[in-house]
Amino acid sequence: MKGTIVIVDDNRPVLDSLRFILKNDFTSIHTLLSPDRLPSLCIEKDVDVVLLDMNYSTGKQSGQEGLYWLNRIQDACPETSIVIITAYGDVDLAVDTLKRGAVDFVVKPWTNDKLLATVHSAYKLSRSKKEILRLKKREEILKASLIKEAPDLIGSSAAMKEVRKLISKVAITDANVLILGANGTGKELVARQIHALSKRCKELLLSVDLGALPPGLFESELFGHSKGAFTDARTDRAGKFEAASGGTLFLDEIGNVPLEAQAKLLAALQNREVTRLGSNKIIPVDIRLISATNKNPEKMVQEGLFREDLLYRLNTIIIDIPPLRQRGRDIILLASHFLKIYSKKYEKTELSISKEAEEKLLKHNWPGNVRELQHSIEKAVILCDEKILGPNNFSFRSGMQPRQDLQNLSLEEMEATMITQAIERCNGNMSAAAELLGISRQTLYNKKRESGVGNRDSGTNDQ
């Protein structure tokens, strides 16, 4: 064993004997006649095992000295295993040390086999404790790197003030929240704000795009699976519910959950427990649930597409995010915010937006909401040659129909129209169109196929 052991006994022959017995089992052996240096030595040498005698002062046999140093070692090095050396008549004292944290005891005179077995077990326990501590520290580092500081919600309009007010009230609770709003309005940003202001802010917020999940992977992704549960299940895997336990789980595009999967989701939320696919073991989970959709969930319930009992479970609190066109001069505040970001990114400092350009931005309908505005500013910064962005730096395709032209369309027709316009606007770039619409590329392909908008290879690319 490549470990370190310290032997403490006021009897030199005992120390020499133990060193000889253990010389082939530890790479580093330290012996002390007095325990005075013991705590500092344990820290300095990263000691795995301490063999500790109970008495050091002449005439004292109470074992109180040993108990004192036992406590000192535990305070200084809680991962170090302590094995007590005691006389035959002090078994009761040795048992007391076990209650106080020692891992085992050796009775004088000992047998070498028993001594070695005891020390080996203590060493393995110490290494396990240190490995657990190492993994916990690693987890803390990884968690700290994953916990993102939520950007501020920009806007001074009455609608956004109301949203921020609602966020501040609901964040301090553990109530489930359903966020409604069109694509690109900032639903995930609102979820991050709620998490950042909650009691769970030091834990993870995990996001799951349910719209991008193939139906066959829904259960595995959310609840996990056991090895052999299906063809590609080569190892056990925790689902998002388990991974987010202690923190917040954000289920985006909750309206896309297949009806047959909604019962399993409801059961997990009601019972606060999950069962991995291919296993019978029940795993308790502790999550704060935030979900979001760009659909009308009540209408989906009426149409039989969404379970009413699941909706009640999700919408303890509803936060409705207004579209950008209803936020007034928030458009200019957001434009200035994105201008600072992209001016720095593309090293074009001192850029500003002219009054005429601001008027053009205010008049635009923004069907892609904040995400569209962000892309418009980035594009303008990249292509501009002047210090001031004018109206000509912002081009909005006439093919993007204003809101009033869409009013007489059905929901399916409106969706197909928006998909067509987004693909045209992005010159067939499906990745860019998906981002503009606020959905994943796979979801865009699925919706494109369902709505009959062209075909996957017609004038599109996967960049």
Domain assignments of the chain as residue spans, ordered by start: 4-143, 158-320, 324-396, 403-463
Copy the structure tokens of residue 289.
């649930």
What number is the average pLDDT over the span 219-226? 88
Copy the structure tokens of residue 339.
């201008």
| pLDDT for the residue 226 | 87
Q: Over the chain, what is the mean pLDDT?
A: 85
b/e per residue 34-62 (b: at least 16 CB within 10 A): ebeebbebbeeeebbbbbbbbbbeeeeee
Confidence of residue 61 (pLDDT cuts 50, 70, 90): low
Residue labelled with tokens 């005439």: 59
Tens-digit pLDDT profile for residues 301-358: 999 999 999 999 999 999 999 999 999 999 999 999 999 999 999 998 889 999 999 9
Q: What percent of the chain has pLDDT over 70?
A: 89
Question: Which of 269, 281, 214 lies closest to 244, judged by CA?
Answer: 269
| pLDDT for the residue 272 | 93
What number is the average pLDDT over the span 43-59? 82
Q: Does the pLDDT at position 461 exceed 80?
A: no
Instruction: Note whether 84 and 67 are within 8 A (CB).
Output: no
Q: Does the pLDDT at position 437 exceed 70?
A: yes
Q: Does the pLDDT at position 454 exceed 70?
A: no
Q: What is the architecture of the domain spanning 4-143? A: 3-Layer(aba) Sandwich (3.40)
Q: Which CATH superfamily is domain 158-320 in?
A: P-loop containing nucleotide triphosphate hydrolases (3.40.50.300)
Q: What percent of the chain has pLDDT over 90?
A: 48
In words, the CATH class of domain 403-463 is mainly alpha
Mean pLDDT is lowest, of 49-58, 87-96, 262-271, 431-440, for 87-96
Q: What is the architecture of the domain spanning 324-396? A: Orthogonal Bundle (1.10)
| pLDDT for the residue 377 | 94
What is the pTM assigned to this prediction? 0.63
Sign of the torsion angle spanned by Cα atoms 379, 385, 388, 391: negative
- Using CA atoms, how far residue 310 sits from 21, 176, 368, in Å, is 67, 12, 29
What number is the average pLDDT over the span 411-436? 77
Return the half-sphere exposure (C-beta side, CA atoms, 13 A cut-off) of residue 393.
28
Tens-digit pLDDT profile for residues 98-146: 888 899 988 888 889 999 999 999 999 999 998 888 888 777 767 665 6
What number is the average pLDDT over the span 176-194? 93
| pLDDT for the residue 204 | 87
| pLDDT for the residue 168 | 94
| pLDDT for the residue 427 | 65
| pLDDT for the residue 286 | 94
Task: Tell me if domain 4-143 and domain 158-320 are identical in fold.
Answer: yes
What number is the average pLDDT over the span 23-48? 90
Contacts from 143-149 at CB under 8 Å and sequence distance 24+? Answer: 143/203, 143/204, 146/204, 147/201, 147/202, 147/203, 147/204, 147/205, 148/192, 148/205, 149/196
Instruction: Note whether 48 and 3 are within 8 A (CB).
Output: yes
